[in-house]
Amino acid sequence: MVKSNEVIAGGMNSKEGAESSLFPTYARYPISLVKGEGSWLWDDKGNKYLDFMCGIAVTNLGHAPVKVKEKLKAQLDELWHVSNLFQIPGQEKAASLLTENTCADAVFFCNSGAEANEAAIKLARRYHQKVKGSNRYEIITFTQSFHGRTLATLTATGQDKVKEGFLPLPAGFKSVPLHDLPALEAAIGENTAAIMMEMVQAEGGIYPVEPEFMKAVSELCSKHGLLLIVDEVQTGMGRTGKLFAHEHYGIEPDIFTVAKGLGSGFPVGAMLGKGYLRDAFTAGSHGSTFGGTPLATAAVTATIETILEEQAPQRAAESGLYLMERLKAELEGHSFVKGVRGLGLLVGIECEAPVGDIVLAGQKNGLLFITAGPNVIRLLPNLLVTKEEIDQAVSILVKLIHEHSAVEQV
Ligand SMILES: *Cc1c(COP(=O)(O)O)cnc(C)c1O
């Protein structure tokens, strides 16, 4: 019997103090951002930053885009949450905007990229096992990919660092090197259910998939009856110059996932699929308490409407070309720079050595950006970024890279 005033320690120690009440899961920069508008952010000391990371491809329309803000404010006055046990007209509306503008027929709303990918994995297995009556379960992914942090999605991720200390991992995943067709063919077996991939490996270092390889993957899926799952969590919502990056490749995935840019900063994710997959996700097979609330789907609807009205994908395509041209003109042949690559406004500058210090120097010079792997600078401005803002960012970056490589040579 536990007496009411007695506390049983669950672990090894009593409560301890620390500087922060948060788990130290992030290596945070010493900057507190307190306000954002368009391409600009301000910290609590009044410093102003040009935002070329967008909360990692989230605020694709810039900070506080007017239409999304107005729609969310109006929805706040009406209704925030109802259970998915009821009809949710706002969710239907957001879903139909997604299906009208993509190759998908049906949408499942959730709250993050990992959850969207988790739903995709579950749907692929259930389609084979319940609809096709086979035992297929295995998902083939690619090394250097990133698919999320839940147990299934970190297992799908082709990078060992996210798996350390989390054994045992769920069964049924295999990774092969990107662009290695013989390895992919050899990995396909009687238990294979799906191939899951990004169109541009983003976290892995900004590697766009070769069109020829994509065509071959698509053909292998048809030949072996596999589902093709495309993870568009980072590449989706106009980022690469099309609403979804798979449109560049002339393919139609059976399933694709979206999250980061879907709500302009309101947390929401979605899994989209072809109509023939409906039979696999029947009532009770999958669900989410928060998935697709009136508030979240108001953000989705306003985001998609703004993307379409502003022709954000076309602008991202043009701005991306301009950004890459400017970077190439200024940096190609520079001893510290190996190359510039990307698709639309998902751009990487591969360098000869780690670039963490350049990111810090950027912050001191009023420019925010991130890395993609140790040696790659990743640039993710918002899709409505102006030419002047791109020029400003490029001139800061060029200065930083020159200064940094001068230091490296000493
Ligand atoms: C960020 C990301 C995820 C994970 O999204 P979360 O919302 O952090 O769960 C999955 N896949 C890709 C390609 C991503 O970039």
pLDDT for 342-383, tens place per residue? 999 999 999 999 999 999 999 999 999 999 999 999 999 999
pLDDT at position 9 is 59
CATH code, 382: 3.90.1150.10
Pair (305, 374) in one structural domain: no
Q: Out of 8-12, 137-141, 303-307, which region has the weakest mean confidence (pLDDT)?
A: 8-12
Please report, for residues 10, 11, 12, 21, 166, the alpha-carbon distance to residue 7 in angstroms, rounded to integers and kept in the order given.
9, 12, 13, 20, 29
| Same domain assignment for residues 316 and 299 | no
State the Cα–Cα distance between residues 306 and 262, nearest whole angstrom. Answer: 11
Please state whether the predicted TM-score (pTM) of the whole model is above 0.85.
Answer: yes
Name the residue of 146, 200, 371 to mutate for ligand 1: max ligand atoms within 8 A of Cβ: 146
pLDDT recorded at residue 405:
86
**CA dihedral of residues 63, 69, 72, 76 (deg, nearest 10):** 110
Q: Which of 276, 309, 342 is the last residue of a domain?
A: 309
User: Which DSSP string do the residues of 38-57 spell out, in sequence order?
Assistant: BTEEEETTS-EEEESSHHHH
Residue 225 pLDDT grade (very low, low, confident, very high; cuts 50, 70, 90): very high
For residue 390, give the H/E element and its range: helix 387-409
Determine the structural domain holding residue 367 and report its residue range: 33-61+311-409
Residue 317 has pLDDT above 70, yes or no: yes
Pair (395, 253) in one structural domain: no
Pair 272, 258: CB distance under 8 Å:
yes
In a shared domain, residues 331 and 346: yes
Q: Within a domain: residue 163?
A: yes
- Select from 288, 309, 330 the last residue of a domain: 309
Q: Calculate the average pLDDT of the chain.
A: 96
Average pLDDT for 167-187? 98
Please report, as a single letter, which amino acid is at residue 64: A
> If pLDDT is split at 50, 70 and 90, which confidence band does 8 have?
low
Residue 347 and residue 294 share a domain: no
Can you say whether residue 216 is alpha, beta or left, with left for phi > 0 and alpha for psi between -120 and 50 degrees?
alpha
- The residue assigned the tokens 């839940």 is 150
Q: Which residue, 277, 309, 341, sits at the end of a domain?
A: 309
pLDDT (tens digit per residue) in 278-308 = 999 999 999 999 999 999 999 999 999 999 9
Whether 390 is covered by a domain: the verdict is yes
pLDDT at 406: 82
| Residue 281 per-residue DSSP state | S
Looking at residue 351, what is its pLDDT? 97
> What is the distance between the alpha carbons of residues 350 and 275, in angstroms, rounded to a whole number?
40
* Sequence-separated (6 or more) residues with CB below 8 Å from residue 377: 348, 349, 351, 355, 358, 359, 369, 371, 397
Residue 193 domain-assigned (yes or no): yes
Please check whether residues 101 and 47 belong to one and the same domain: no
Q: What pLDDT was estimated at residue 345? A: 98
Are 282 and 391 members of one domain? Answer: no
Q: Evaluate if residue 96 carries a pLDDT over 70.
A: yes
Which pLDDT score, from 0 to 100, does residue 13 have? 60
Residue 329 β-bridge partners: none
Per the structure block, which two tokens stand in for 333? Answer: 């042949």
pLDDT category at 119 given cuts 50, 70, 90 is very high
Assess whether 258 and 387 both reside in one domain. Answer: no
Cβ–ligand 1 contact at 370 (below 6 Å):
no
Residue 281 is part of a domain; what is its CATH number?
3.40.640.10
> Are both 83 and 112 inside the same structural domain?
yes
CB 139 within 8 A of CB 173: yes
Encoded tokens for 124: 């692929």
CA of 14 to the centre of ligand 1 (A): 35
Confirm if 369 and 359 have CB atoms less than 8 A apart.
yes
Is the per-residue pLDDT at 18 higher than 80?
no
Q: Rounded distance, CA 345 to CA 273, Å?
A: 25
pLDDT greater than 80 at residue 80: yes
Judgement on whether residues 80 and 187 belong to the same structural domain of the protein = yes
Q: Do residue 325 and residue 293 come from a single domain?
A: no
What pLDDT is recorded for position 388? 98
Q: Which of 58, 203, 230, 257 to mutate to test the pocket of ligand 1 (most atoms within 8 A of CB)?
A: 203
In a domain, 299, yes or no: yes
Looking at the structure, tell me whether residues 199 and 105 fall in a common domain.
Answer: yes
Ligand 1 pocket residue status of 239, Cβ below 6 Å = no
Ligand 1 near 207 CB (within 6 A): no
* Ligand 1 center to 353 CA (angstroms): 26
Total of domains in the chain: 2
What pLDDT is attached to residue 107?
98
Give the integer Cα–Cα distance in Å for 222 and 225: 5
Contact assessment for residue 375 and residue 354, using Cβ atoms and an 8 Å cutoff:
yes
Supply the pLDDT for residue 19. 82
pLDDT of residue 150: 98
